[in-house]
Chain A
Amino acid sequence: MSAHATTEHAYIPGEIAKPNTGWIWKTFWVLVIITAVEFAIAFAMTSPGLRTFRNSIFIVLTILKAFFIVGEFMHLKHETKSLIWTILIPTALLVWLVVALVTEGSSIGETLSHMFS
């Protein structure tokens, strides 16, 4: 499908094909259902003890949603392997950045709270 844009073809009126939108609506429902599940969890799991577990579920579901948006809507799943890796490898570095700085933040917070005790 990615080849469509590069293929030059003269426009001939009246040769409009039937829409093929099944996969679009399927992706739509996947996104809606994941969002609904996120809301259900936000209100069902309110216990402070379950916070870390709850947040892990949120992060997994968010990445799943990202997979469907980038893979299907942005069509990356159907591009060449080299393009997929070109996008994914730099993005994966962000995960490291987040983990590193969140840890750093916790450490700063802890240091500050113990400073005067």
Chain B
Amino acid sequence: MLERLAGRVNADANLLRRGKHVTTTFLIAVDNADHIVRIEHGRIVSITPGPFITPNYSFALRAARDSWEKLWSPVPIPGYTDIFALVKKKLLRIEGDLHPFMSNLLYFKGVLAAAGHTQEAA
């Protein structure tokens, strides 16, 4: 699900501008599949799939594949259009040191939205 995330984020000049102060490592879990995403100055420099023995990251976003697919649906589904919508439904959990996430919230929402742009060929 995350194959093209780095390419899309790194090609988005506005997103890079918004995230220019973001340097952190975070974790995205799809079901039990962990991925560690390294960001430097807003640019994704690596996405490393798990499993990990001692993963080191600032914060993690964990949800079932079905929930991520609804969030990233090319046709928006009412009630599933935002990570906080999923949090409210208890379908997504944000844990760890949330400071990098909350202090750059619009940037990280942009990063996550980039994972869902599946209609680019249209």
Q: Do A and B come from one complex?
A: no
